[in-house]
Amino acid sequence: MSYQNITLEIKNKTAQITINREGKLNALNRDTIAELKDAVSRAEADGSVRGLILTGAGEKAFVAGADIKEFLGKSKEEAEAMSRSGHELMNKIANLSKPVVAAINGFALGGGLELALACHFRVASSTAKMGLPEVSLGLIPGYGGTQRLPELIGKGRALELILTGEMVDAKAAYGWGLVSSIVDPDLLIDQSQKLLERIYSRSASAVSAAIVAVNGSSQGKVEGYGLEIRTFAECFVSEDFSEGLSAFTEKRKPRF
């Protein structure tokens, strides 16, 4: 597969995947999700790769969410299929046999934060801002965020982020355990690489086994993910979501 929306570069045992739709703040459209699935599989199959870094092009955004323009006119069934496809990508990353770092270089919102949550580590630039703003569109997170966020930072703080739809800066995210370190924007990739190199000196098979074992703690949550997909799809037939979408397109505040 050739890539139009991402780049894949393999260097020093690391596959760096950059989401490359800077003009749309790297929003995840359908093609980008397909390309990410392909690139992650390629990195997993490549014996010279020991770890991955995911980041966004430009200085402004990691990923500003799922591509809201693609939500227009979707039926409940289509919304469910879209959510399922997003879950496939996120699960693929979370269960990869090689460690994956999200190098968060700016806005990580909605599907962008969910992508970062699926990674094994999150390193944030000091300029990063994170949040799950879906409720401001009349929607809920649909790429695993309702499950992975509480698992990472606890239910209370997760509910605060999800129900207010507000963003937090890198410092607050660090305080909440949402990111493991904050670095200068210029050093983001170097520091992410350094984190991976601390793992590269260890046994690759033991590292893979550890990922499987740690992920085992979430297995009881499988039903939670299914519930998220169905609830996300149900939002697509609500009046609020229709108003939320119109407001985004018309660049105004929604009237719920």
* Choice between 46 and 70, CB closer to ligand COA: 70
Q: Does 134 bind ligand COA (CB under 6 A)?
A: yes
Report how far residue 192's alpha carbon sits from residue 196's, in angstroms, rounded to the nearest whole number. Answer: 6
Catalytic site includes residue 44: no
Stretch that binds ligand COA, among 3-11, 21-29, 51-59, 120-128 (CB under 6 A): 21-29
Q: Which residue from 25, 79, 100, 123 is in contact with ligand COA, where contact means CB under 6 A?
A: 25
Note whether 17 and 30 are within 8 A (CB).
no
Q: Which residue from 35, 67, 114, 228 is in contact with ligand COA, where contact means CB under 6 A?
A: 67
Q: Which residue from 8, 15, 43, 66 is in contact with ligand COA, where contact means CB under 6 A?
A: 66
Note whether 22 and 63 are within 8 A (CB).
no
Stretch that binds ligand COA, among 24-32, 148-156, 187-195, 232-240 (CB under 6 A): 24-32
Taking the complex as a whole, the smallest distance from the CB of residue 64 to ligand COA amounts, in Å, to 4
For residues 164-191, one letter each, b for 16 or more C-beta atoms within 10 angstroms of the residue's C-beta and e for the rest, the string is ebebbebeebbebebbeebbeeeebbeb
Q: Which residue from 6, 8, 52, 68 is in contact with ligand COA, where contact means CB under 6 A?
A: 68
Burial environment of residue 204 by CB neighbours within 10 A (0 to 12, 13 to 18, 19 or more): middle
Q: Does 24 bind ligand COA (CB under 6 A)?
A: yes
* Choice between 67 and 228, CB closer to ligand COA: 67
The one catalytic residue in 35, 80, 114, 228 is: 114
* Choice between 96 and 113, CB closer to ligand COA: 113
Q: Which residue from 27, 82, 96, 117 is in contact with ligand COA, where contact means CB under 6 A?
A: 27
Residue 97 per-residue DSSP state: S
Contacts of 253 (CB under 8 A, 6+ apart): 247
Tell me which residues in 89-128 interact with ligand COA (CB under 6 A).
Answer: 107, 109-111
Note whether 55 and 7 are within 8 A (CB).
no
The one catalytic residue in 134, 166, 234, 243 is: 134
Beta-bridge partner residues of 104 = 124
Beta-bridge partner residues of 52 = 15, 100
Catalytic site includes residue 134: yes
* Choice between 27 and 188, CB closer to ligand COA: 27
Q: Does 138 bind ligand COA (CB under 6 A)?
A: no
Q: Does 65 bind ligand COA (CB under 6 A)?
A: yes
Closest Cα to residue 228, out of 136, 30, 91? 91
Report how far residue 104's alpha carbon sits from residue 126's, in angstroms, rounded to the nearest whole number. Answer: 9
Give SS3 for 15. strand
Question: Which positions touch ligand COA (CB under 6 A)?
Answer: 24-25, 27, 64-69, 107, 109-111, 133-134, 137
- List, by residue number, the catalytic residues: 114, 134
